[in-house]
Chains A and B, each alone.
Chain A
């Protein structure tokens, strides 16, 4: 008996009356002789029994299903037994099944995956769904994955980082963050995919990396902003901090770092999308990472992921002065982009931030580079403007897959050139 049919079958009755179905049973009879068939057909005449035929008598060998109200159960069964008509109880308690089905329907509407294998990587998710995913991942892979709370947002949401580690103490590490700008939805979605990829990975490349290094992955770097893109404004970029004296909300978390802070390439206007904030690290989302990086002391590669434009960038953004490691970073970027393109032919450009896009001060990887994290990179993922921030969900997995190829190059290079 298909569960959904139950409510459909009851639908008319349930709608017409306010009765419930406690104690009602559904009996099935398969008449195998004319005599049996006749006895069943007789039941149809007995209106006082209030029988509800879900499958009416049609002929020999065809099942007859009857919903029998509780008060009629004893007389009906007595009638059938006295006449030697075999029956089976298909549903012991109709109301119990209705209740169960209602509950399942509610769950189905907000499908709650029970494992990361049933999680839908091909669609965009809410903050709650992503946080639930993290817990599932940790529960399924307790020896590899743990969840760290590195701080709280302005609106007091927890800020989580997943740690992938095969052991050791404070191993050299790779940091990846997505979603620092909340409207860049393909990045958080890719972060989820990366997390699953890391635990699934069978091949040598990643295994080699994890033998020596830890990976830290912050999937929702700007939780307040992300929640806001779901509830109020899909195009929200900044944090959600409020300052007295201004009607405008939020600070650009990629202008709030202590590298050329407040210089050209950021705005001092709180209403601007590139507002740098009142002082460096004013945003708890930024400060949490700063504190983490400073206390860890052993991060060797730092990759901050944005969209859109299809670019792979290295420092600096705040000054035209080239970084001392420019040649090496340029070469790594070149290889990473080649690997990325090899999958779907997606065209990326690469270079320093200031030459490739524009001057931007107070940026993440400028700070991390100046902290001594040589392999500091920023990605701008798909696309180049056809959909921009509103990238169709069908492109999440291809984007994540090709980006992962580039990340593998960066991670392998880091591992092969530890410093």
Chain B
């Protein structure tokens, strides 16, 4: 097991992946996290299996910069099989804030809209996010965590850059459904990658990405 400087590239990429995974598992319209700091990182090379990172890091709430949470994680990148998503196990120190009230408020607001919600460019070019779009953004943040987790390797570092377009899809059941086109920023290649995702959400049942696909880049040029 080798100690890695926490400032170094590989450690921060593994921590970013763990962050995305945690956002996917615990994120919601009221909650999302971004990596603030890596405290400690070790790497274990497991013969025939892959590279396993042991991490201690700090997450910051995307809605409240000063709200942080300490985490540990083990991230296993599978050798030779880049199609397989890394394995992630994590622990969160303490309890996450309960946002049931915010969830229900958002749920009821969307259900009572006369017309399906539709929006684009969140944040806009100037970094603005209208307050009523914050939950939509948080939902995308959590859903993109799934996409990022599924597509990450030791040499990639993805971040949700922007929601290009979101459209609600009315359903007959209790779930809310949104069709997103997001832009992912990949920090090593510096590419901006459009990605489509279909996201289901329910206050009691959490988030599910039912469909997702990489989109052609040319649309942006």
Contact = CB atoms under 8 A, between A and B. Distances in A.
Contacts of B7: 349-351, 355-356
Interface string A299-339: 00000000001000000000000000000000000000000
Given A235-B183, A273-B189, A388-B185, A358 B9 contact: yes
Given A124-B126, A386-B34, A235 B8 contact: no
A392 interface: yes
A384 interface: yes
Contacts of A343: none
Given A235-B161, A356-B9, A388-B159, A393 B126 contact: yes
A154 to B, nearest CB: 16
Interface residues of B, number: 34
A357 interface: yes
A379 to B, nearest CB: 15
Contact of B36 (A347, A356, A391): A347
A191 to B, nearest CB: 17
B8 A392 contact: no
B35 interface: yes
A237 interface: yes
A160 B79 CA distance: 49
Contacts of A90: none
Contacts of A123: 126
B4 to A, nearest CB: 10
B185 A384 contact: no
Contacts of B127: 387, 390-393, 395
B190 A392 contact: no
A385 B127 CA distance: 12
A272 B191 contact: yes
Contact residues of A: prevailing secondary structure: loop
B214 interface: no
B184 to A, nearest CB: 10
B157 to A, nearest CB: 9
Interface string B87-131: 000000000000000000000000000000000000111111000
A275 to B, nearest CB: 10
26 contacts: A233-B220, A234-B162, A235-B162, A235-B183, A267-B189, A273-B190, A273-B191, A355-B7, A355-B9, A356-B7, A356-B8, A357-B9, A358-B188, A383-B34, A384-B34, A384-B36, A385-B34, A386-B62, A388-B161, A390-B124, A390-B126, A390-B162, A391-B127, A392-B123, A392-B127, A393-B127
Interface of B: 5, 7-9, 16, 34-37, 60, 62, 65, 123-128, 155, 159-162, 183, 185, 187-192, 217, 220-221
Given A233-B221, A386-B65, 17 more contacts: A229-B125, A249-B221, A267-B189, A347-B37, A351-B5, A355-B5, A355-B8, A355-B9, A356-B7, A384-B60, A385-B159, A387-B123, A387-B127, A388-B185, A389-B185, A390-B162, A392-B128
Interface of A: 123-124, 229, 233-235, 237, 248-249, 252, 267, 271-274, 309, 347, 349-351, 355-358, 383-393, 395
